[in-house]
Amino acid sequence: MTMRQRIELTVNGRIRSVEVAPHHTLLDVLRDDLGLTGTKECCLVGECGACTVLVDDLAVDSCLMLGVEADGASVTTVEGLATGDKLHPLQEAFLETGAAQCGFCIPGQLLAAAALLANDPHPTRAAVEEGLAGNLCRCAGYEQIIEAVVVAARAGASES
């Protein structure tokens, strides 16, 4: 019954034009229409943060946004963090501190952390906890994740 609608959005710096079903979320569009499966589907109610992406530089749960709502927006996914072969400082810090265990929550954690550091380049530990409160880790690797963000902030992650 429903017509697909054409939207144009910028994903990781590339302009993409895609026909989407109105009832598909941005998460569906990224994973199924654009093949960007780094963004993870998990709770689908906005509690776990595994699907976190940046929309116009703001961290959002892509499971709680329709694809059509992203028409005209600029979206950054985990695939857009590294530059060529060079990892983003946050990715380096996550490796260095052993913050990734099973890895499933890490794309969302990285983008929430990137948004945090863009606003607050040298956050307190409390600010890191609050900034990542919307990202759950079932391996309970919170200490290493928080440490990774602090390490990346020290290394000047927000300037890259």
Q: Provide, rounded to whole angstroms, the least separation between the CB of residue 120 and another protein.
A: 11
Q: Compare residues 118 and 150 and give the one whose CB is closer to another protein.
A: 118
Instruction: Single out the residue of 52, 76, 77, 97 in contact with another protein (rule: CB under 8 A).
Output: 52
DSSP string, 88-151: PHHHHHHHHHT--SS-TTHHHHHHHHHHHHHH-SS--HHHHHHHTTT---TT--HHHHHHHHHH
Closest CA to 36 of 47, 22, 26: 26
Q: Does 23 bind another protein (CB under 8 A)?
A: yes
Q: Residue 22, interface with another protein (CB under 8 A)?
A: yes
What is the contact mask toward another protein in residues 113 to 132, using x (rule: CB under 8 A)?
--xx------------xxx-
Q: Which is nearer to another protein, 28 or 147 (CB)?
A: 28
Q: CA nearest 94: which of 117, 124, 119?
A: 117
3 contributes a contact to another protein by CB under 8 A: yes
